[in-house]
Amino acid sequence: MKDGEIARRGLVLLGCGKMGSAMLEGWLARGLPASSVFVNEPYPSDWLKAQRVVLNKDLPQDPAIVLIAVKPQMMAEALPSLIPYGNGTTLFLSVAAGVTIANYEKSLGEETPVIRAMPNTPAAVGQGITAIIGNASASAAQMDQAEELLSAVGEVVRLEDEAQMDAVTGVSGSGPAYVFHMIECLAAAGEAEGLAPELALQLARATVAGAGALAMQSGIAPGELRRNVTSPNGTTQAGLEVLMNDDSGLPPLVRATVAAAANRSRELANG
């Protein structure tokens, strides 16, 4: 990472749990000087303590970026210390779920540059995807800065409207949990057909991971990939007739699942 402004002015990381640690590891691997990163974390991990970042000490006077990675319920306690940075040139980049841009503007000032981001847990292995949206005070250069920072843990996409963040939450934010449950269900079904539990889990885990990698790397539409596996009147077709049923199969179930998560996101954002 070759952002001279961040190296010169500093980057504040407020909260360094699993997501914060994943991002920090990516930044350091890309060359961001550890001495430029100021981490405020009341319960630092052994890994964090071993890094050369500035840990739980005085923050810089005019940081380039404050990245907020604390849990939403800790926000009321964390934000007051950041008020002096509001309405200035410091960019606030938030990965806290359910906290809207308006919440930050109310606490920090309406002219504060704010970018809201929704990453997901595969960021821990550098395979995440993050959606971002900025307010009117966030410049094009700051949007680029945020994208570079977040690309350290995976892909980054830009939204057109903050209201889309709820759908993003339902699809990619919560989506890894749906896939993990799919692995559980495949393994359980394998057991029911006579496989040993360990073997069923190994097959299910590798199948989902491999199919995901193929979907990402082949450039082929998922529908075509599905058809490529499906022989007429074969075993896959028999399974898909159950899975793709318009009334009782995966399509209505996934629609309801994503809608429930998106609706809950809206409820959290509205308090």
Q: What are phi and psi of 65, to 5 degrees?
A: -140, 140
- Detail the DSSP E strand segments found in 43-148: 54-55, 65-68, 91-94, 114-118, 128-134
Distance CA 17, CA 25 (A): 12
Of residues 71, 145, 75, the one with CA closest to residue 113: 145
- pLDDT bin (cut points 50, 70, 90) of residue 255 is very high
And the tokens for 6? 């961040």
For 179-189, give one letter per residue: b (16+ CB within 10 A) or e.
eeeebeebbee
- Element housing 137 (H / E): none
Whether 108 and 83 have beta carbons less than 8 Å apart is answered as yes
Q: Who's near 212: CB < 8 A, 6+ residues apart?
A: 179
151-196 pLDDT tens trace:
999 999 999 999 999 999 999 999 999 999 999 999 999 999 999 9
pTM over 0.85: yes
**Is the pLDDT assigned to residue 125 strictly greater than 70?**
yes
User: Quick check: 1 pLDDT over 60?
Assistant: no
Neighbours of 240 (CB within 10 A): 17
* AA identity, residue 141: A
pLDDT digits (tens, 9 = 90+) for 63-100: 999 999 988 778 878 888 899 999 999 999 999 888 89
pLDDT in tens, 193-251: 999 999 999 999 999 999 999 999 999 999 999 999 999 999 999 999 999 999 999 99
Residue of 81, 86, 60 whose CA lies nearest to 8: 60
What is the chain's mean pLDDT, rounded? Answer: 93
Q: Spell out the domains of the chain, with CATH numbers in brackets.
A: 4-165 (3.40.50.720), 175-269 (1.10.3730.10)
pLDDT of 29-59, one tens digit each? 888 999 999 999 989 999 999 999 999 998 8
pLDDT band at 3 (very low <50, low <70, confident <90, very high): low
What H or E segment, with its residue span, contains residue 222?
A: helix 222-229
Whether 124 and 18 have beta carbons less than 8 Å apart is answered as yes
Report yes or no: 113 and 64 within 8 Å, Cβ to Cβ: no
pLDDT at 271 over 80: no
Angle at 265 between CA 260 and CA 267, to 5 degrees: 95
Task: With beta carbons less than 8 A apart as the criterion, state whether 27 and 48 touch.
Answer: no
| SS3 label, residue 30 | coil
